[in-house]
Structures are given as structure tokens and as C-alpha cells.
Structure 1
Amino acid sequence: MLNADEVTVVIVPFPSHGHLNPLLHFSLLLSTRYGLTVHFASTASHNRQAKLRLQGWPLSSLSSIHFHDLPLPPIPSPPPNPQSPNSFPTHLQPLFDATDHLRSPLSSLLLSLSASSRRLIVIHDRHMSLGFDAATTPNAESYAFCGTSAAFHFEAAQLMKQGTGLEELASPEFIRFIERRRRDGFTSSGFIINTCREVESEFLDILALREDFLGKPIFAIGPLNPVPIHNNTDINRDECLEWLDGHPPCSVVYVSFGTMSTISDEQTEQLASGLRRSGHRFLWVLRDADRADIFAFESSSRRLPAGFEKAVEGVGKVVRGWVPQLDILAHRATGGFMSHCGWNSCMEAVSCGVPVMAWPMHSDQPTNARLLAEGLKVGVVVRGWDRRREVVAAERVEEVVRMVMEGEEGRSMREKAVEMGEAVRAALKDGGSAKEAMDVLVAHWRR
């Protein structure tokens, strides 16, 4: 076998947590388990963000990766608007557009590494533009990383072909941004997707026949998130895990809408009322969506109904900052997950065997919610996409929580979630579909 140092891998993430997170996991897999030399190139603040929010790996593992801080000019960092009729995070568009400024320093880095490597492998998020043509560099290959579900790639392609429908999922500015970025994908040597055949076999087969993917290999290597050990007893555990320790198995509803979603004040009030009325234990992460300048605004001051936290003390806990979601989902006390259904959250819930109360808000989330609820039967949709502009009443929140946490229907969901979790975890082991795809990919780079 060739020396791994002869192959250099450069990871180019999109600067938002949902994109940074899986590619950092991927980088650690390549560096620690396959012995490859891995470089991670993003802005200084987003490199820092990725490191501080690392889950499932010891912090010491970060030393196996070479981080490169790419310069970015000052950009606006407006707050999210929780009252906006469109829940898409339009406040981050200045950051997205500013990634064009990364093309030149990134190209210089890639050229430098290409000159000192036998083979240079560039893995770039599909939302990133490289400013570097691997096709004209004899020892370089580029691969597009797809951080959303295969089901969404299929659905988005259908909508683009029809010329309608995407405007309901994202802002016009972001749709135009994505259209520009699609061109880089056409020059890639293949596609890497954070999914596996156990979850999306049908859609992976369909993608292989589509124009964007035709003739290029698709490597389904997910879930990229580590699968945590239940009841991790690490001395540096987060306080919310200590709180979960005091509750019975499968008794707590975990509520979190991710790092790019903010619900309205009216919706917050209805959700609070519904959780309280359900009578079930809950751990609720109530925070604003990330801003471009993430570390200036890490926590939230969102208001709850007067006296709410005191009234639910011991039964419910509200957290206003970032939490270690993987460890929460893996905890024995967690029995259900009320989620926006970002793809990372979906894969984490599935790999931990936790049923999902799906509350999609934008982008790929409606597709993911349907996949979990209708395809895999491991969840229920809280609010149909056709009613996305409506406030979900407390009565519906109570109904869904009771449905998942009680009775025959909830028991069936939990059983299916546990079975799916076992299948997905098996996919990551020797002989599993995801592990085999990863082995084939790395062997191809080392040829």
C-alpha cells in the first residue's frame, strides 16, 4: 500500500454549522482512521466554531487536522427576524455571498499543496466555489460533498426542472446563489453524501440516473456523526446531561430547532403551553439562529410566558445556548425529538434510535420530515408544509407529544426507530454499506 502522506486531502466547508459539522467529522475519520493528511480550510471564526462545537470525539483528535484560516473582509451580521413570514435565515445571505472572497486565497492554498503532494483530493461543499480547476491540475481530483438527503436532491432537481416550488423553500437571493454554485459540481470526479443505503437506498438509485450525477460515482458514507455511547460518564459532561440523569428511560422530549431557525414569539408561547399541558418531561433548547458573527451572539434572551420556568421546574428544563445534541439523543432518558429536521439532526436521531416529531421550516426540511414520517415510519409531522405559515396551537403540540410518548402508535414509532438505529450503526461497521463505500473511496485515492 502507498504511504498515506502521498495523498493530501483538503476539506472546504460552507461557513454555517450544519455544513461545518459533518465535514469536520469526515476530516477526523480520514485523519484518525485512515491515516490521511487532512487540511480543513475555512474562515478563522468558522474554524473556531467547528472546533468548539465538536461532539463525539476527544478534543485531542483535532491535532490530527491542519486548519487554515482563510481571510474574509468585514461583513454585516444582522440578527434573525423571528417574526418574518419566511423562516429561511435571510440574515445570513451577506455571509453566503462573501464566500466569493475565499476563492483567491483558497486557490493559492490548493496550488501550494498540489505542488507538494503526489495526489491532491479536494472535497468541497456543493455551496462553495473553489476558484481552482482540478481538471487542469494533473494530480488533483475534486469531489462535491452533499450535506442534504438524497431524497431532497431528487426533489430539488424536479422543482428546478419545473421552474417552480423552490421559492417556498428558500429566499430568492439564496436560490440565485445556489444556481451559481451548481456549476462547480459539474467538474467534480464524484459525489460524497452524508447518508446510507439503509436509510435512502431508493433515492440513491434514482440519483445515479439523474443528469447531475450520471456517469460519476456516488459514495453514501453516512452517518458521519459518531454514534455516542449511551450514558457517557465523561467528567466534563454538560449540565443538561446531568439533568437528564435524574429522569427515567425514554421519558424526556428533546426540543431543538437547530442553528439556523428562529420561531416567533407567538409560536414560542404556544409551544411552551403545549409542552406544559402534555405532562411529559422535556429539555427545550430555546435560542436564536446563528449570526454571521457567531461568537458575538452565542446565547438567547428569548422570552417565555411569565412564571413558565418556575412552573415546570423539575419536569422541564430550558437551555438558551448551544448543547451537545449527540449526547442528548444518545442519553437513555431521551424518548423523543421535536426537530426542524435539518439533515444532520435527522441522521443523528436515526443513528441514536430516537423517534422524531418533525417540524420543518425551510430548505430540505419538508422533504426530510416526509422521509422520516412516511418513508421510514420513525416519526410524525407536527405541522404539514401546506400550513407552514400558521402558528401551531398548544393543543397540537400536546397531541403530538402524547402520540409519540404514549400508547400504541408511539410504541410502534419507537420500535421502528430502534430497529433503524441498529441498521444504521451496522452500516458503519466492517461489512456495512457505509464502511464499504468509505473504504472504496480511500482506496481509489491511494491507487
Structure 2
Amino acid sequence: MPPPVKQIIHESVRAANQFRHQMGSHHVVLFPFMSKGHTIPILHLAQLLLRRPHVAVTFVTTPANRPFVDNFLANTTASIVNIPFPQNVPGIGAGVESTDKLPSMSLYVPFTKATKLMQPDFERELEALPRVSFMVSDSFLWWTLESAEKFGFPRFAFYGMGNYAQSVSTCAAENRLLTGPESLDDLITVTDFPWIKITRNDFDPLFNEREPKGPAFELLVEQVISVSSSYGMIVNSFYELEPGFVDYWNRVHKLKASCVGPLCLAELPRNELQTQQKPAWIQWLDKKFELGSSVLYVAFGSQAEISPKQLKEIATGLEESKVNFLWVLRKEALELDGFEERVKERGLVVREWVDQREILMHRSVQGFLSHCGWNSVMESIVAGVPILAWPMMAEQPLNARFVVEEIKIGIRVETSNGSVKGFVKWESLEKTIKELMEGEMGKETRNKVKKYSEMAKNAVEEQKGSSWPTLETIINETRK
């Protein structure tokens, strides 16, 4: 029986990459963590690398994640390698190969630890590949450093956060700043950045505990040791956005941070891709633009777990604000008691995966109610859209501080008790939505973010900014 067409294409691309390598090309292996927010920027990095002549890319993924990767890397010369995800992991169902499919983020630790079982298959694939110049693998995949050392090529750790969050959190840890105050909401001065004030609530419990222990802490230690022993660190940011924090990190730490972003700018513009039917939400945004109406985009990422009570407050705040909005909800989110029918003239609720950058780049979108995941922050900056910051987890509270206090391209939501992670009532949400979309502060943040948007676009240009030559330096260094 003849092999499937896809398999033939895959083998042809792989052979082409092998030929390119034999002709003197640079061969880069990319291996993201199995999460959309971690995979997408590394897919963009693949596209950025492939703009260079004589660079071949091999992208590592798992069977269930393969269609998403295939779609992203269509019409490129990237070779894609499948590695089976471990089966029979306690608490994780068959076919669950990405964190956005987990029933709860409480399963993050067993899910991540299970990836270690992929190492033998990964190394078998490395044996079959042409010689690797360097690898970029996610910082969560600590064990890939061991594989890189075994095969004798440099490993760069990919960190899915910016230099501000990385520098502030490392400074807080090294100076034990989170062990002092009793209250989770007392302000703490960051030793090396005295103008920055943080709280213990700006960090997940694992980081603000006085004596952390347990499986999650043990996993974190392994990841930190692996990253610190790597050749370097790839950061999805650009020097012009946070120069003081890039300089600080590279002055104080042996592990060099290289800013090569915004990586989302490596993606081909929509009009250069194959024509296709516009999704319903883009058609809806087109109509709003024709009417001269501005739209608030609302999305909290694929990982955030929002209580039914809080979701109802969000719905009420959006309804009472009277602004136009596009709200992307997780599929399993509750029904909102006639909400969609009541707001159908000015609001649209979407319960499926969307191309967030395409939405943010739409001319009708003038604000972003966001959890401040770093990808979302970068995409918002590139699009020139100000942020209404509502952090939920991980380093998002630090990203929110960066957005609101450091570069001033956003406004913070107001919680009922003033705590970073407090409950948000609809009345305060309505007020801050109106301020972002219609108020003076919203105008100021909009003007500010448009300036950063221009800087971002220049950063990745070959002759203008910092990110292009930074990646070029990595390629040249590893070639030697």
C-alpha cells in the first residue's frame, strides 16, 4: 500500500533539509513545551530562522499537537518530527498532550514530569538527524539539556516571559524579599530596582512560601538548574522595550539573555497567505469598522480558571459598559443566562480557538481586557492596542505591573479588596472599561502603545532594530 501523501511530503522536506545541511547550512532544532502559549512563539521563531539563507529547522512535537504545528509551518521548509507523548500518566487522559486540554492546571506537575519519558525517543530522532548546530527548547523541558550535551551541541532555553518579570522575580528570590512581610499584599521594595514595589501576591504560592517544598518545588529546581547550565536564553522581547532590564540581567548573570522578538512579527501577513473564508468573528469586526465603532477585545488565555461567580460579574460589567466587545471564552465556560441575546447588537461571544493576533490587528479593536500573558502583551504592543490588565496566574501580575507602571500602556482593573488577586465586581470593571475605551487615560495609553508598536516593528527589521542582529549573532557564534 503506498504511503500517505503527507508522509511523502514530510520525508521529502526532511531530505531537503538534510541536503541543505550537507551544503553548509545551519541546522536548528526547536522543541516547545506542550502548551499553546509556549508553542506559538517557538513556531514564530522557526519562521524567523527560515528567513535566513542556509538555515534548516527541525521542529519537535507530539502526534496530537502535530496538526496545529503543520498548519503554522505550511509552505515552509521546516522538517517536523513526532515524538509520542507518554501514556497512562495518572490523572491525565489518553490523547491529552497539551496543557490547555488538562481538566485542571493542578495537573501541571505530573504532566510536565511525564515529558521526561520522551527523552529516549527524542534522542533516537537526534541520532537520525543531520548534525545539529544548536537547539532552542522550552525552559520547562529541563531534561533536553542532557540530550544536547550528549550529542555535543549548545542548548538555548526559551523563557516565555519578558526581562522585567525575569529580573524582578530573580532579584526577589536571590534577596529573599518574599520571606519578610506577613501580609500577601504588603508592598515590598525590589532591592535592585527601588522604584518598583511588589507584593507576595504578585507571585504564585510556590514562590511566596517561606519554606517551599514538594513535587512542584522539586520540578522548579530542576528547571532552574537546567536553564542556568544552558548556553544562553532566548527571550521573546526586544531591547528597546526594556533596555534597563536586559542590561541588568546580562550584567549580573552569567547566562546571557538574547532578545529576538517580537516573535509574532515573523508570521506572514494575512494577505500573503492562501486566501480563505474569513472567520465569523472577523466578519463581525469588519461590520463594526464599517459603522465606525471601536471594539474591546476580551480574552484571558487558555489556562486561566475563572469561577462562575466572577464570569457573571464580567458579563454584567461588559453589558453595563455599553461598549462593543468581542469576548473569547473557554468552551467549558458556563452559559450566561440570556446575556448573549441581550448584547447581540454590540457584543459577540466566541467559544473556540481564535487567531488572537489577527483580532488585535483589526482596525476596529481599540482595547484589550487581558490576563497579561507575555504573548498577549507582545501582540498587543505590536498591534498598538492598550491593555486593561487583569492578571490571573504565573508571572502575569508582574507583566501587569510592567504594562501599567513601567511603560504605561495600560490601566489596571480594580479588585474589591485592593489585592492583586482579589475579586472584581462589575461596577469597577464597567468603570475601567469606559476609562480605557473612552477616557483621557485611555487616550494617553493608546498614544504611548502606538510608539512602542513602531519600535517593535523596527526591532525585527534587518537594517533598523536590535532583534535581527541579535539572532544573527547567535547563528554566527554557534557556527563557530
Q: What is the TM-score with the length of structure 1 in the denominator?
A: 0.85
Give a deviation string over 1:94-144, Cα, whole Å, max 9, x none.
31121111222223323443xx42x53111111112163544644x11111
1:303 aligns with 2:335: yes
Q: Bigger relative contact order, structure 1 or 2, given CA contacts below 8 A and separation 6+? A: 1
Distance 1:342 1:175, change over 3 A: farther
Q: What does residue 9 of structure 1 align with? A: 28
Q: What does residue 441 of structure 1 align with? A: 474
Distance 1:133 1:402, change over 3 A: same
Q: What does residue 321 of structure 1 align with? A: 352
Gaps of 5+ in 1: 79-87, 288-298
Correspondence for 1:74 among 69, 73, 88? 88
- Give 1:376 deviation, angstroms: 1.0
Secondary structure of the residue that 2:28 maps to in structure 1? strand
Which one-letter code corresponds to 2:470 in the other structure?
A: A
Give a deviation string over 1:223-262, Cα, whole Å, max 9, x none.
1113675899943322111100011357100000001112
Counterpart-to-counterpart distance in 2, 1:223 and 1:104: 33
Q: What does residue 247 of structure 1 align with? A: 288
Counterpart-to-counterpart distance in 2, 1:207 and 1:179: 20
Q: What does residue 107 of structure 1 align with? A: 123
Q: What does residue 113 of structure 2 align with? A: 97
Matching of residues 16-415 of structure 1 within 5 Å:
16-52=35-71, 54=72, 59-61=74-76, 63-75=77-89, 76-77=91-92, 89-113=105-129, 116-117=130-131, 119-128=132-141, 129-130=143-144, 132-135=146-149, 137-138=151-152, 140-161=153-174, 162=176, 164=179, 165=200, 168-169=203-204, 173-210=215-252, 213-214=253-254, 216-226=255-265, 229=269, 234-248=275-289, 251-287=294-330, 299-304=331-336, 306-383=337-414, 387-415=419-447
Q: What does residue 428 of structure 1 align with? A: 460
Q: What does residue 292 of structure 1 align with? A: none
Counterpart-to-counterpart distance in 1, 2:468 and 2:344: 44
Contact 1:329 1:349 in 2 (8 A): yes
Distance 1:209 1:408, change over 3 A: same
Counterpart-to-counterpart distance in 2, 1:376 and 1:167: 18
Give a deviation string over 1:325-363, Cα, whole Å, max 9, x none.
010000000010001011001100011110001100111
Contact 2:33 2:138 in 1 (8 A): yes
Q: Which has the larger radius of gyration?
A: 2
Which one-letter code corresponds to 2:472 in the other structure?
A: D
Give a deviation string over 1:352-394, Cα, whole Å, max 9, x none.
1100011001111011001111111110111469624432000
Q: What does residue 183 of structure 2 align with? A: none
Greater Cα offset, 178-187 or 277-286? 178-187
Contact 1:152 1:367 in 2 (8 A): yes
Secondary structure of the residue that 1:397 maps to in structure 2? helix
- Give 1:156 deviation, angstroms: 2.2
Give a deviation string over 1:192-212, Cα, whole Å, max 9, x none.
1111112111111111133xx
Secondary structure of the residue that 1:348 maps to in structure 2? helix
Contact 1:285 1:319 in 2 (8 A): yes
Which one-letter code corresponds to 2:279 in the other structure?
A: D
Secondary structure of the residue that 2:140 maps to in structure 1? coil
Which one-letter code corresponds to 1:45 in the other structure?
A: A
Contact 1:146 1:191 in 2 (8 A): yes
Greater Cα offset, 359-368 or 183-192? 183-192
Greater Cα offset, 169-178 or 356-365? 169-178
Contact 1:231 1:330 in 2 (8 A): no
Contact 1:135 1:187 in 2 (8 A): no
Q: What does residue 3 of structure 2 align with? A: none
Give a deviation string over 1:142-179, Cα, whole Å, max 9, x none.
11111211111112213332164599415564343221
- Count of matched residue positions in the alignment of Structure 1 and Structure 2: 414
Distance 1:137 1:322, change over 3 A: closer
- Give 1:323 deviation, angstroms: 0.8
Counterpart-to-counterpart distance in 2, 1:131 and 1:158: 25
Secondary structure of the residue that 1:247 maps to in structure 2? helix
Contact 2:203 2:395 in 1 (8 A): no
Greater Cα offset, 36-45 or 385-394? 385-394
Contact 1:28 1:65 in 2 (8 A): no
Greater Cα offset, 226-235 or 4-13? 226-235
Distance 1:327 1:255, change over 3 A: same
Contact 1:340 1:359 in 2 (8 A): yes
Secondary structure of the residue that 2:452 maps to in structure 1? helix
Distance 1:264 1:356, change over 3 A: same
Contact 2:300 2:371 in 1 (8 A): yes
